[in-house]
Amino acid sequence: MGSEPRIGVYICHCGSNIAGTVDTEAVTEFARGLEAVVLARNYVFMCSEPGQEIIQIDIKELCLNRIVVAACSPTMHEATFRRVLEKAGINPYLIEIANIREHCSWVTEDRELATEKAKALVGAAVSRVYYHRPLETRRLPFTPATLVVGGGIAGIQAALEIADAGSPVYLVEREPSIGGHMIQLDKTFPTLDCSSCILTPKMTRVGSHPNIELLSLSRVEEVSGYIGNFRVKIRKKARYIDAEKCNGCGLCQEKCPIKTASEFDMGLGKRKAIYTPFAQAVPNIPVIDTEHCTYFLKGKCRLCEQVCERGAIDFEQQDEVVELEVGSAILASGFGIFDPTPIARYGYGRLNNVITSLEFERLVSSSGPTGGEITLKDGTTPRSVAIVHCVGSRDKNYHEYCSRVCCMYALKYAHLIKEKTAAEVYNYYIDMRCFGKGYEEFYERLSGEGVTFIRGKVGEITDQAGSNEEKGKLVVVAEDTLLGVLTRVPVDMVILCVALEPPPDVAAMARLFNISRSADGFFLERHPKLDPVATTTDGVFVVGCAQGPKDIPDTVAQASAAAARVLALISQGEVEIEAATAVVDERICSGCRYCIPICPYTAISFDEEKMVCQVNEALCKGCGACVGGCPSDAISLSHFTNEQIAAQMEGMLA
Amino acid sequence: MTPVTPLKEVADIISEEGGEALRLCYQCGTCTAACPWNRVRDFVVRRIMHQGQLGITDFEDEEVWLCATCNNCVKRCPRGVEIIDVMRALRRVVTELGVAKVPDSLRLSIKNISGLGNPLGEPEERRADWARDLDVKLYTEGTELLYFPCCIPEYDPSVQKVARAMATILKRAGVDFGILGNRASCCGESVRKAGDEGVFQHLAQNNISSLTELGVKRIMVSSPHCYHTFKNEYPALGGSFSVVHATQYLLEIIKQGRLKLGKEVNLKVAYHDPCYLGRHNGIYEEPREVLRSIPGLELMELADHGEDSLCCGGGGGRIWMETKSGERFSDIRIEQALKLEADVLAVACPYCMLNLNDSVLTLDKGDAIKVRDITELVAEAL
């Protein structure tokens, strides 16, 4: 091959995307005249099979050792053409892409201007590629263990798929039991499957799976490292029960004298100070709530300790912090719900019998505080119920987005109310969003069940009666927009379909795992269409409602998708590290450490012995911030050296 | 049925004047449910929005002139549609393109304002007559504060007591203030809402010239409508002044200790939030704090208070239009005050005063309740 650069230049037409504006023949002719250019060609689609073959053949036959492809943005096909070079037997970094589409033919209609600019861009690329050096992509070993954060359906599905494939999983769940919100639901749309019946088998499998270590009542405290080599600290909060000894008999719960509001039942039911949140909890080990337990508050009682036949109560138990090594992380942290209290005219928190969707789920659940009976606060059965769509969703004043699942569960509630009571049901909607498989059919079924649909966003829910029929009732005021009349409907109960929101600790989680959030607050996926489970942090995936509101089928699909991605990484056994990374010249580095806070990827560390800074090549993304920041000019960026950049500028301005 | 075809040009004109936010309307009906008109008659605000989107507005319909610009719908709209601007746009089309008739009483009032600077058609040189025996000086450069009472307190005999009360208070507190006298013209806020952009611009330029020439820095106003336009609309026309409403200023001088309220006013007072102080400009607390500063006064809250305050019906130029008996919001408001058994319904806006007083008279409840401006109540406590 020889050490003298022999450059081949390829101008792509991209159909008419480039050739429609740029005179590709003229640019090719121009390229032929540049220094060290052995040949220049143009072709209709360089990225196609024949296009790629042209380059490969030329490299072999003409001993080319530098390539310039003038085409679309490097984000599109730099990787494609690098592979071409590899196949042809030369180092993949000996190529430079000139973007004469997004930066040229797509930003002007002026042929002359476009052609002149294309020539300048090609000239720059040619000058630059002259100074390219071969670089090696390094590979690091990939830790085959996976961290799954969140034990709802998303986390459970992902964990099971990875564990079933034979790889170890750590499943971290904040609550005492896995199950998330799905276990709080009664029936699921559109099939009306019993939620617990379809979820508990999966929960049991998680609890007993040899490849899954379940850390419940635990939180992620610290994350460091990079793809293939993450180190995470998990804080396992004290349950005050010895998990080895407890056999889940439930006697302690039975005997405990203290009752308090149950979070699982959304405050509608009670639990004890020592409790499992629900009967099918996994793990089936209780936890002591120190804020209500008499022993922790006053030092008295200890009844649970007395009745426990296994001596499993351990008041002295401490939190435990464990350090885990994993190769990738799947964030399945789920959602929170919008608190409708700020919408004063809906009366939530002020008027009796105005409840949220999750509260209704617990009411209608056979495992709930009323055993599945739909009742008002005073225990009687409602004779009329209003279901209000879009509370806090599709609203500039709260959340602009649509929460996706509410129209469907509103229909579900209508059905359940019709099934269990003789009540009149009114659904107040703006649009009916029934987009999934079986969803529109479910809507048709509900229409047939005698539910009244009123198209209009509810303006007010009031207890101020305007007539005798309204006395003692909740009056729902809304315009029926299809008729153009204002309606007042007196009902006994109002269910607010509240927006899904990111959970309260979403900002802290994003910081821990170094990922972004979109404008709506949910975690940001790498690409909204083509990469919905990956993030811009390699090795960290987001699934389920953590990425945005969605129903169970889509959640499960995303969880499986992320599991597949993780398994692919695990099966490769190693991870490829980008070769264009920063390098500190230790002879010049003065140890001022100015570069360390500059690095957005915390890739630079200080070596105390040598008193110089060092770049962790696996974390470095090659952004160049440290290169610019170093006051001693001690840092250089492979593939973006001063020499290469200067040459690029000279070539452009020639 | 005769099918309807959208008229793009009309839709474009409306969108241009009413702001492009009209395109965002997704017809949810929140505006209709929020509008106080629907307590007394039919007014389907949402339909008017969609007709605007399609350009098929019936400009001859009286509905074009109903909106009192109370801002209840705008505040609740989930898409951020500027509904008041759309209503104003429809009125502009009528006024400027002559496609329908402007209501007579409105036309007359605006004609008066255009010619004589005030809606009552009174002579300009009589504007300062309300102050003739109070030794109130004209504003000159260097005077600390300009007091801008508004045409109604200056010209309307039943409301002049408000301006007089303010002048008395300012003198007692030793404030160095002046008035514009006949150099003032109507601030134009409601003229603009009523669709006469031309007259508004003329009024604003006139006022801005006077204010600038005199080197006015700080203006204190009795009317929330003047407050609104001086603060939010005049700057775009080249007139940036520091504006403060009477209730805000009163609180200021009370807190500074310049104004001492020593006399007891033993009254049960319900406060009516004006739309242009509350919903339009977020001022809810200061008027209440002033009332609480009056010794012996018991402050009460009406149903529909604060952000949910029930409009008196005077905004949007409706103060100069006929409202049928039985369709007056102010009637409902008086009933609400009577239900509380308040002695006084306190207002902070001359239009509210006119409408609510009118309701007290027509409902014949003058023995049961009095309407007073906060300024008057403060003056009673001097």
Summarised one tens digit per residue, pLDDT across range B370-382 is 999 999 999 999 9
B-chain CB neighbours of A390 within 8 Å are 28, 78
B-chain CB neighbours of A344 within 8 Å are 308
For residue range A157-176, what is the model confidence (pLDDT) as tens digits?
Answer: 999 999 999 999 999 999 99
What pLDDT, on a 0 to 100 scale, did the predictor assign at position A618?
A: 78
**CA distance to partner chain B, nearest, from residue A240 (Å):** 48
For residue range A261-272, what is the model confidence (pLDDT) as tens digits?
Answer: 999 999 999 999
What pLDDT, on a 0 to 100 scale, did the predictor assign at position B21?
A: 83
Q: How confident is the model at residue A2 (pLDDT cuts 50, 70, 90)?
A: low
**CA distance to partner chain A, nearest, from residue B349 (Å):** 26
Q: What is the SS3 assignment for A624?
A: coil
Q: Measuring CA to CA, how many Å separate A246 from each of A57, A218, A236, A581?
A: 71, 18, 17, 52
Q: Quick check: A203 and A282 in contact, CB under 8 A?
A: yes
DSSP class per residue in A60-72: HHHT--EEEEEES
Q: Quick check: A54 and A41 in contact, CB under 8 A?
A: yes
CB-nearest partner of A430 from B26, B47, B76 = B26
Q: How confident is the model at residue A621 (pLDDT cuts 50, 70, 90)?
A: confident
CA of residue B204 relative to chain centroid, distance: 16
Q: What's the CA gap between B163 and A566, in Å, rounded?
A: 76
DSSP class per residue in A63-107: T--EEEEEES-HHHHHHHHHHHHHHTTS-TTSEEEEE-IIIIITT
Are B29 and A464 within 8 A, CB to CB?
A: no
What percentage of chain B exceeds 90 in pLDDT?
95
By CA distance, what is B41's nearest residue in A?
A486
Q: Quick check: A68 and A9 in contact, CB under 8 A?
A: yes
Are B76 and A397 within 8 A, CB to CB?
A: yes
How many H helices and E strands in chain A? 17, 34
Are B46 and A464 within 8 A, CB to CB?
A: no
For residue A223, what are its two tokens?
């994350």
Q: What torsion, rounded to 10 degrees, do the Cα atoms A189, A195, A197, A199 define?
A: 120
Mean pLDDT value across chain A: 95
Residue A59, φ and ψ in degrees, nearest 5: -60, -45
Q: What is the SS3 assignment for B215?
A: coil
Please name every residue paired with A12 in a beta bridge, in sequence order, or none if there are none: A43
Average pLDDT over residues A560-567: 98
What pLDDT, on a 0 to 100 scale, did the predictor assign at position A579?
A: 86
Residues belonging to chain B with any Cβ–Cβ distance to chain A shorter than 8 Å:
26-30, 32-34, 38, 42, 44, 46-47, 76-80, 303, 308
B-chain CB neighbours of A486 within 8 Å are 32-33, 38, 42
Q: Measuring CA to CA, how many Å separate A578 from each of A66, A139, A348, B362, B377?
A: 20, 9, 53, 83, 76
Average pLDDT over residues B118-141: 95
**CA distance to partner chain B, nearest, from residue A352 (Å):** 19
**CA distance to partner chain A, nearest, from residue B137 (Å):** 47
Q: What's the CA gap between B185 and A231, in Å, rounded?
A: 73
What pLDDT, on a 0 to 100 scale, did the predictor assign at position B3?
A: 84
Q: What is the SS3 assignment for B354?
A: helix
Residues in CB range of A416: below 8 A, 6 or more apart: A186, A187, A364, A374
Q: Quick check: B75 and B307 in contact, CB under 8 A?
A: yes
Mean pLDDT value across chain B: 96
CB-nearest partner of B46 from A390, A477, A479 = A479
**CA distance to partner chain B, nearest, from residue A180 (Å):** 31
Which residue in the block uniquely carries the two structure tokens 């990079």?
A: A226
Are A457 and B29 within 8 A, CB to CB?
A: yes
A-chain CB neighbours of B77 within 8 Å are 396
By CA distance, what is B75's nearest residue in A?
A397
Are B47 and A484 within 8 A, CB to CB?
A: yes
Q: What's the CA gap between B272 and B111, in Å, rounded?
A: 31
Neighbours of A588 (CB within 10 A): 13
Are B79 and A397 within 8 A, CB to CB?
A: no
Q: What's the CA gap between B327 and A612, in Å, rounded?
A: 82
For residue A154, what are its two tokens?
């998303």
Are A396 and B77 within 8 A, CB to CB?
A: yes
Q: Quick check: A474 and A461 in contact, CB under 8 A?
A: yes
Are A456 and B79 within 8 A, CB to CB?
A: no
Are A485 and B44 within 8 A, CB to CB?
A: yes
By CA distance, what is B304's nearest residue in A?
A345
Are B33 and A484 within 8 A, CB to CB?
A: no
With residue A171 as reference, give the H or E element that holds it: strand A169-172
By CA distance, what is A394's nearest residue in B?
B78
What pLDDT, on a 0 to 100 scale, did the predictor assign at position A408?
A: 98
CA nearest neighbour of A180 among A190, A171, A189:
A171
Q: Burial letters for A593-627: b for 16+ Cβ neighbours within 10 Å, e otherwise?
A: eebeebbebebbeeeeeeebbebbbbbbbbbebbb
DSSP class per residue in A583-595: EE-TTT-----TH
Supply the DSSP symbol for B261. -
For residue range B182-192, what is the model confidence (pLDDT) as tens digits?
Answer: 999 999 999 99
B-chain CB neighbours of A394 within 8 Å are 26, 78
For residue range B212-231, what is the model confidence (pLDDT) as tens digits?
Answer: 999 999 999 999 999 999 99
What pLDDT, on a 0 to 100 scale, did the predictor assign at position B20?
A: 78
DSSP class per residue in A525-559: PSBTTTBSSB-SSTTEEE-GGGTS---HHHHHHHH
Are A459 and B76 within 8 A, CB to CB?
A: yes
Are A481 and B30 within 8 A, CB to CB?
A: no
The C-alpha R_g of chain A, in whole angstroms, comes to: 31
By CA distance, what is B38's nearest residue in A?
A486
Average pLDDT over residues B108-129: 96
Dihedral sign of CA atoms A443, A446, A450, A454 in order: negative
For residue range A423-479, what is the model confidence (pLDDT) as tens digits?
Answer: 999 999 999 999 999 999 999 999 889 899 999 999 999 999 989 999 999 999 999
Q: What's the CA gap between A408 and A519, in Å, rounded?
A: 25
Q: Quick check: A309 and A127 in contact, CB under 8 A?
A: no
Q: How confident is the model at residue A1 (pLDDT cuts 50, 70, 90)?
A: very low
Are A459 and B33 within 8 A, CB to CB?
A: yes
Contacts 24+ apart (CB under 8 A), A82-89: A84/A52, A84/A55, A84/A56, A85/A55, A85/A59, A87/A56, A88/A55, A88/A56, A88/A59, A88/A60, A89/A59, A89/A60
Best residue in B28, B71, B308, B310 for a mutation probing chain A (most A CBs within 10 Å): B28
CB-nearest partner of A396 from B29, B46, B78 = B78
Average pLDDT over residues A294-307: 95
A-B C-beta contacts closer than 8 Å: 59
Supply the DSSP symbol for A418. H
Dihedral sign of CA atoms A635, A639, A640, A643 in order: positive
Q: What's the CA gap between A274 and A315, in Å, rounded?
A: 12
Are B29 and A478 within 8 A, CB to CB?
A: yes
CB-nearest partner of A479 from B32, B77, B79 = B32
Q: How confident is the model at residue A580 (pLDDT cuts 50, 70, 90)?
A: confident
B-chain CB neighbours of A480 within 8 Å are 29
